[in-house]
Structure 1
Amino acid sequence: MVVVDASEFGAEGFDPKRWINAALDARHPSEPLDRFLADAEERLRSAADDAAAALERDSGDALRRVPLACRDALRLRDDAVALRSHLASVLQSLSLAEGSSAESIAALARIDTVKQRMEAAYTTLQDAAGLAQLSQSVEDVFSSGNLPKAAETLATMRHCLSAVGEVAEFANVRKQLEVLEERLDEMVQPRLVDALSNRKVDAVQDLRGILIRINRFKSLEVQYTKIHVKPLKKLWDDFELKQRSSKVDMEKLSGESISGLSFSSWLPNFYDETLLYLEQEWKWCLTAFPDEYKSLVPKVLTETMSELNSSFVSRINIATGDVIPETRSIAKGILDVLSGDLPKSTKLQNKHLQALIELHNMTGTFARNIQYLFSESDLAVVLNTLKAIYSPYETFKARWSVLYSLLR
């Protein structure tokens, strides 16, 4: 049984969570937790009601004790000259009365503090009792398949846990909550993939709300990026298919071995199709994710460029070698010349560098279009995206001094 001592609530530095912990430590092991919490909640509520009644009663008494000397002073104001000595006595009485009133107000303030602290402890007890009930009923909510209700239940459990603090009796509930949040996330994912793939705006927004409720929006961002990186990678991979097809067709016509479609002629088309795809996603996300579209769509391009980086560097390198028959015949480029792996007769020429600059200019045009498309995004997001776009050229820029010295 919980004993409520009002003096504890008036002490300096009173902590509702520490008071709850102390009460739980004093609980007899044989007494059920939920019954103990319910009893404590009722006794604290009763004590809080008593404190409120005392506050109201003492406030009335204090008002009735307003010194009569105040009214006497007003009544004697007109003949103050004749009654100076009496007025001095009255003023002295008034001063004493004011001191008594100040003490009464201070006492009322202390009672009000106790009342507020009791109410805080009562609320914490309610959270503890609610947490115990939710922990027992949450499996039924999951079994029903109602994902929004499951998310709301888990959010309420997390709120209750933050209210009761590190109470030993609820340590297992904290672990249970983490497992349930992961479980709900896994239940959402198949529906999320379907909704994103088929552009179901209403379904996407409902699932977004569920994930945000359990602090799992990151999983939506990951899934969205994963789905939309694939089409862009497919566009990139189409180059090799088109190159082989072009090579076969041209060899049939000429009867000679021909390299086929060049990367420098194909790259602008890749950039155009990528830009068109991102523009469509930007418009759709403006409706589906009005609060996150400014970061979601740039993330797709950033991740795509990250996954394509090594392949992009390789294609740029070979493209710089295509402009000279000597390096084109062995499918080598600037980086191979700089590495020293080629015969000494193979020299770096101005055309190699011009080809690199032309490719960089194509990328610059694409970067400006992307900067315009993402102009509403935060500056840090835009800069990070532009850095990803130009990243394949970093390998060449790092060797720029060597390039320059070889061409002098």
Structure 2
Amino acid sequence: MMLDLGPFSDEKFDAKRWVNSSCQARHPQDSLEKHLVDLEMKLQIASEEIGASLEEQSGGALLRVPRATRDVLRLRDDAVSLRGSVAGILQKLKKAEGSSAECIAALSRVDSVKQRMEAAYKTLQDADGLTQLSSTVESVFNSGDLPRAAETLASMRNCLSAVGEVAEFANVRKQLEVLEDRLEKMVQPRLTDALTYHKVDVVQDLRGILIRIGRFKSMELQYSEVRLKPIKQLWEDFDTKQRTNKLANERSESQRLSSGDEFQLTSSQTSFASWLPSFYDEMLLYLEQEWKWCMVAFPDDYMTLVPKLLVETMRVLGASFVSRVNLATGDAVPETKALAKGVMDLLSGDLPKGINIQTKHLEALIELHNVTGSFARNIQHLFAESELRVLIDTLKAVYSPFESFKQKYGKMERAILSSEIAVVDLRGAVTRGVGAQGIELSETVRRMEESIPQVVVLLEAAVERCIGFTGGSEAGEVVISVGGLNFANIF
């Protein structure tokens, strides 16, 4: 059995604990005395082996000391020699630096002169090339090769940048602007045709031409103009259907009167509120198709190009959209529907007295806003790859038709709350007589206390409408409107 000497190297070695541990680990059949004798013998043998090994290693180390001393002395001599060599090299470098500084300065001046000469040579080349391009550019245009014309104009632009503001080339600069406008006009019809018929290769070539002459903005405008036409047609279909239905109604009414048929059926008008979801669905489908097509045709620009199309669409339809929303709110109430007026007309005082804004007006407005909110969420999902700034601008455009209504929302709520609270009867019901004034006041106070829950319900409904329509952004206006209510007319 080998003796484990590992515990003896531990700093916290306890001899008693080690002995006790060794005794406990003995074989049960071995006597304690015999085990201790064996343990002592093993320790003695291990001690002798360690001592012999230590003596042997010490003797070897003593024999190696003289040789190590000689090596250290040799290394010291080599270090002294190396230090002297390095000092000599440094001295030579200092002398060389002093003598070469003038040469380096001279070379630097020569290099500066060389660079100026090269720049002058290049400028002369550019000027000569600009003159040649200016003389041949007309023939390039007459050939009808648009890519070559774009390359020629780009070269002229580069040459003008190189020669700077030279008076001799002022006329060339003006000529270049005219030629760029001319090339842009030549590209536009072809680009319109390519966009209309979805010719991807042609569109990409024409896009490259416009980018080459710095007219990419023109391509964006052309794309929006072409793609906006189908959306405008969708929007105008509503008016077309309304006119068709109106003519059918008039024809049916005429037939009824002529035939004396009292139960003649007439065509019904399509409401804007019921038509708007279908318009949003068709426009969303159209934009989804455009997104997929532009990913192929404009892989570098589709994430901004299609959102800009929607922004431009809402800008073009903005005034008409607001007008239709206004009329749709008026259709919710028979009185305003008969006059073809909405809440904006009511606020402007454009209607006879006695016709006020009702909760049905606001409910219709909120319903249209909710439909637009669903469309906005779909747009947010579709344009999720676009930058946050582009996405925010697009969503603002989607909600823009309701902005004028939100700005006047406080006035709407004030008009509604005024009419609703005015219905509450708080006057005393007691006939005036001797001592009746006190009784009437008591009755009025009682009625005021009983009407508090009713007024609270009206105010809660106003808050819910505010949150539903404006998201709470106009809550301050509602509070101001409530504070400005005239309660004197209910006493």
TM-score by length of 2: 0.62
SS in 1 for 2:339: coil
State the partner residue of 2:161.
162
> Pairwise mapping of residues 4-23 of structure 1 onto structure 2 (< 5 A)?
none
**Aligned match of 1:219:** 218
Gap runs ≥5 in structure 1: 1-76, 82-86
Post-superposition offset of 1:256: 7.0
Match in the other structure for 2:358: 349
How many aligned residue pairs are there? 326
CA distance in 1: counterparts of 2:232 and 2:401, whole angstroms: 15
Given the superposition, is the C-alpha separation of residues 338 and 79 from structure 1 closer, same or farther in structure 2, using an over 3 Å criterion?
closer
Contact 1:244 1:260 in 2 (8 A): no
- In structure 2, the gaps of 5 or more residues are 1-79, 254-262, 418-491
Deviations 1:355-405 (A, max 9, x none): 110010001101111111111112222111111111111121111111111
Q: 1:320 maps to which residue?
A: 329
Change (3 A) 1:247 1:171: closer
Task: Give distance in 1, aligned partners of 2:125 and 2:96.
Answer: 43
Secondary structure of 2:108's aligned partner: helix
Choose from 334, 347, 366 the match for 1:338: 347
The one-letter amino acid of 1:188's match is V
Residues in 2 aligned to 1:94 and 1:351: alpha-carbon distance in whole angstroms = 96
CA contact (8 A) 2:277 2:371 kept: yes
State how far apart, in whole Å, the 2-side matches of 1:92 and 1:374 are: 71
Structure-2 separation of matches of 1:384 and 1:91: 68
Matched, 1:260 2:269: yes
2:338 pairs with 1:329: yes
Label 1:325 to 1:114 Cα distance change in 2 as closer, same or farther (>3 A).
same
Secondary structure at 1:329 match in 2: helix
Residue aligning to 2:477: none
For each residue in 1:159-205, what CA deviation from the matched residue of structure 2 results, as whole angstroms up to 9, or x when unmatched? 01110111122111111111111111111111111111111000000
Structure having the higher Rg: 2
Aligned residue number for residue 286 of structure 2: 277
SS in 1 for 2:384: coil
Cross-structure match for 1:206: 205
2:291 aligned with 1:293 = no
CA distance in 2, matches of 1:156, 1:296: 28
Letter in 2 for 1:229: L
CA distance in 2, matches of 1:130, 1:193: 34
Higher RCO (CA 8 Å, separation ≥ 6 residues): 1
Residue 144 (structure 1) aligned with residue 153 (structure 2): no
Deviations 1:103-142 (A, max 9, x none): 2222222222222222222112211111111111111111
User: Structure 2 vs 1, CA of residues 245 and 98 (structure 1 numbering), >3 Å: closer, same or farther?
Assistant: closer
The letter of the residue matching 2:340 is: A
Structure 1 stretch displaced more, 100-109 or 190-199: 100-109
SS, match of residue 166 in structure 1: coil
342-351 vs 148-157, greater mean Cα deviation: 342-351
RMSD of the TM alignment (CA)?
A: 2.5
Alpha-carbon displacement from aligned partner over 1:53-74 (angstroms, at most 9, x marks no partner): xxxxxxxxxxxxxxxxxxxxxx
CA contact (8 A) 1:336 1:342 kept: yes
**Correspondence 1:376 to 2:373:** no
Identity between Structure 1 and Structure 2 (%): 65
SS of equivalent residue, structure 1 residue 181: helix
Residue in 1 aligned with 2:191?
A: 192
Q: Does residue 1:385 correspond to 2:384, yes or no?
A: no
